[in-house]
Amino acid sequence: MLQHPDGPLLSLRGVAKVYGEGEARVHALDGIDLDIHAGELVAITGPSGSGKSTAMSILGLLDVPTEGAYTIEGVPVHELSSDVLAVLRNTRFGFVFQQFNLLARTSALENVAMPLVYAGVGARERARRATEALAAVGLAGREDARSNQLSGGQQQRVAIARSIVNRPEILLADEPTGNLDSKMGAEIMKLIQRLNVDQGITVLMVTHDAACAAYAPRQIDFRDGRIVGDTAGKSPVAGATA
Interface residue list for ligand ADP (CB under 6 A): 19-20, 26, 28, 46, 48-54
**Measured from the CB atom, is 8 or 49 closer to ligand ADP?**
49
Give the integer Cα–Cα distance in Å for 12 and 32. 7
**Measured from the CB atom, is 121 or 220 closer to ligand ADP?**
220
What HEC string does the chain produce?
A: CCCCCCCCCEEEEEEEEEECCHHHCEEEEEEEEEEECCCCEEEEECCCCCCHHHHHHHHCCCCCCCEEEEEECCEEHHHCCHHHHHHHHHHHEEEEECCCCCCCCCEHHHHHHHHHHHCCCCHHHHHHHHHHHHHHCCCCCCCCCEHHHCCHHHHHHHHHHHHHCCCCCEEEEECCCCCCCHHHHHHHHHHHHHHHHHHCCEEEEECCCHHHHCCCCEEEEEECCEEEEECCCCCCCCCCCC
CA torsion sign for 65, 35, 88, 118 is negative
Give the integer Cα–Cα distance in Å for 65 and 162. 28
Closest approach of Cβ 239 to ligand ADP, in Å? 25
Closest approach of Cβ 42 to ligand ADP, in Å? 15
Give the integer Cα–Cα distance in Å for 54 and 94. 17
Closest approach of Cβ 133 to ligand ADP, in Å? 27
Closest approach of Cβ 218 to ligand ADP, in Å? 18
**Measured from the CB atom, is 57 or 193 closer to ligand ADP?**
57
**Measured from the CB atom, is 10 or 139 closer to ligand ADP?**
10
Closest approach of Cβ 14 to ligand ADP, in Å? 17
**Measured from the CB atom, is 19 or 190 closer to ligand ADP?**
19
Closest approach of Cβ 70 to ligand ADP, in Å? 15
**Measured from the CB atom, is 66 or 199 closer to ligand ADP?**
66
Closest approach of Cβ 230 to ligand ADP, in Å? 16
**Measured from the CB atom, is 26 or 87 closer to ligand ADP?**
26
